[in-house]
Structure 1
Amino acid sequence: MTNRSTGMCPFSIVYTKVPNTVLDITVLPKCKSKSASTLVENYTEFLSNIRLKIQESNAKYRLDVDAHRREKLFKPGDLVFVRLKRERLPVGEYSKLGKRKWGPFAILTKINDNAYIVDLPDEFNTSRTFNVKDIYAYYPPDELETQPHSVDTAALSSGGE
Structure 2
Amino acid sequence: MTNRSTGKCPFSIVYTKMPNIVLDIAALPKSQSKAASTLADQFTSLLFDVRFKLEESNMQYKLKADAHRREKIFHPGELVYVRLRREWLPPGNHSKLTKKKWGPYPISKRINNNAYVVDLPAKFTTSHTFNVADIYSYVPPDDSSINIESVDTDSS
Provide the TM-score with structure 1 as the length reference: 0.74
C-alpha distance after superposition, 1:86-111 (max 9, x if no partner): 34335665421111111111111222
Contact kept in structure 1, 2:82 and 2:134, CA below 8 Å: yes
Q: What's the RMSD between the two structures over aligned residues?
A: 3.0
- After TM superposition, give the deviation of residue 139 of structure 1 in Å: 1.4
- After TM superposition, give the deviation of residue 41 of structure 1 in Å: 4.5
Superposed, which structure 2 residues align to 1:94-109 within 5 Å?
Answer: 94-109=94-109
Number of aligned residue pairs: 152
Superposed, which structure 2 residues align to 1:107-118 within 5 Å?
Answer: 107-118=107-118
Which residue is 1:58 aligned to?
58
CA distance in 2, matches of 1:36, 1:12: 17
Structure 1 residues 94, 25: closer, same or farther in 2, change over 3 A? farther
Which residue is 2:10 aligned to?
10
Contact kept in structure 2, 1:79 and 1:104, CA below 8 Å: yes
Give the number of the structure whose residues are more often helix, by fraction: 1
- After TM superposition, give the deviation of residue 152 of structure 1 in Å: 9.6
Divergent runs of 4+, >4 A = 35-38, 90-94, 145-149
Aligned-pair identity (%):
57
CA distance in 1, matches of 2:42, 2:5: 21
Which residue is 1:83 aligned to?
83
Provide the TM-score with structure 2 as the length reference: 0.76
Which residue is 2:126 aligned to?
126
Q: Structure 1: any 5+ residue segments left out of the alignment?
A: none
CA distance in 1, matches of 2:38, 2:94: 65
Contact kept in structure 2, 1:81 and 1:105, CA below 8 Å: yes
Contact kept in structure 2, 1:27 and 1:40, CA below 8 Å: no
1:142 equivalenced with 2:142 (yes/no): yes
Contact kept in structure 1, 2:75 and 2:110, CA below 8 Å: yes
- After TM superposition, give the deviation of residue 36 of structure 1 in Å: 4.7
